[in-house]
Structure 1
Amino acid sequence: MDWISIALLLLFGLLFLIAEVLFIPGTTVVGLAGFALLAAGIWFGYRDLGSTAGHVTLVTSLVLAGVILYLGLRPKNMAKLALTDVNDGHVRDARLPDVQPGATGRALSALRPSGTVLFDEHRREVVTRGEFVPTGAEVRVLRIEQNRIVVEAVS
């Protein structure tokens, strides 16, 4: 094997190692392939080019692999690639309703048995216990069941 083939084995081994450390960490398949290519390049360097060239390929590969691992795994560099933003958004929790039992409102639609009621300036979807309530009637909140507001007509 000539020196160009050995150099290409070493180059691709280092590129696979860079890909493992920086772009697709945690897969280990790419990293293992990179180390296998490096090992094959070093072995062919000793076998075909002699011990002096083998030592040069070994030391060069170890130094470059060490530099890649050091630079790639530094916390400062990982912070550039990692997602560090925290999502502080939230939605209105139905378990903590803004309409409490006993509150009164006006039916914006006929409740048959579900519909829309206006509590102060808040529109909410509500249900009755089965009775029909006409549009515009005043209703009172009986209870809150998980994500449902149960109402009854006020007589």
Structure 2
Amino acid sequence: MDWLTVALLLLFGLVFLAAEVIFIPGTTVVGLLGFALLAAGVWFAYRDLGSGTGHVLLASSVVVAGLLVYVGLRPKNLARVALNDVNSGHVRDARLPDVQPGTTGRTLSALRPAGTVLFAENRREVTTRGEFVAAGTEVRVLRIEQNRIVVESVA
């Protein structure tokens, strides 16, 4: 192989390593391909261009790859691609109901046997034990069964 092939292998190896470290961190495939191209370029340099040239290319490849890793892993560069936003949202846990047994509310729809009830300012889907309850009727929570609120008419 001639010197141009060795130079292209080293160049593309360094470009792929730079892409892995700086532009698309975490993909691994591009970095491994870059490392393989660098290793092939250094091996061909030793084989075809002699050990003196091989030593020089090996040392320069290690130095340039080390600089790329150093530049890519600086905290300033990592902050550009890192997720810095904090998610402060929350989900109501159905296992810890906010409507306790004995709470009263008013039906917004007819319960046949399921429907919607307004507890204070919270709308909840509820069910009865089988009876029908008209809209606008006051109901009381009997129990919470897993993810169902069971109510009965207060009247």
Please report how far the alpha carbon of residue 21 of structure 1 lies from its aligned counterpart in structure 2 after TM superposition: 2.7
Where in structure 2 are there 5+ consecutive unaligned residues? none
Q: How many Å separate the matches in 1 of 2:66 and 2:123?
A: 63
Q: TM-score, normalised by structure 1?
A: 0.83
**CA deviation string 1:118-148 (max 9, x = no partner):** 2233322110011111222221111122322
Q: How many Å separate the matches in 2 of 1:103 and 1:70?
A: 62
Give 3-state SS (helix, strand or coil) of 1:6's partner. Answer: helix
1:48 counterpart residue number: 48
Q: How many Å separate the matches in 1 of 2:120 and 2:68?
A: 63
Q: How many Å separate the matches in 1 of 2:104 and 2:47?
A: 90
Q: CA RMSD in A?
A: 2.2
Please report how far the alpha carbon of residue 50 of structure 1 lies from its aligned counterpart in structure 2 after TM superposition: 3.4
% identical aligned pairs: 74
Matched, 1:119 2:81: no
2:141 counterpart residue number: 141
**CA deviation string 1:60-94 (max 9, x = no partner):** 11110111122223344333322233311112333
Q: How many Å separate the matches in 2 of 1:25 and 1:124?
A: 44
Aligned residues: 154
Please report how far the alpha carbon of residue 103 of structure 1 lies from its aligned counterpart in structure 2 after TM superposition: 1.6
Where in structure 1 are there 5+ consecutive unaligned residues? none
Match of 1:139, as an amino acid? V
The 3 A distance-change label for structure 1 pair 35 and 109 is closer
- Which runs of structure 1 show a deviation greater than 6 angstroms over 4 or more consecutive aligned residues? none
Matched, 1:74 2:70: no
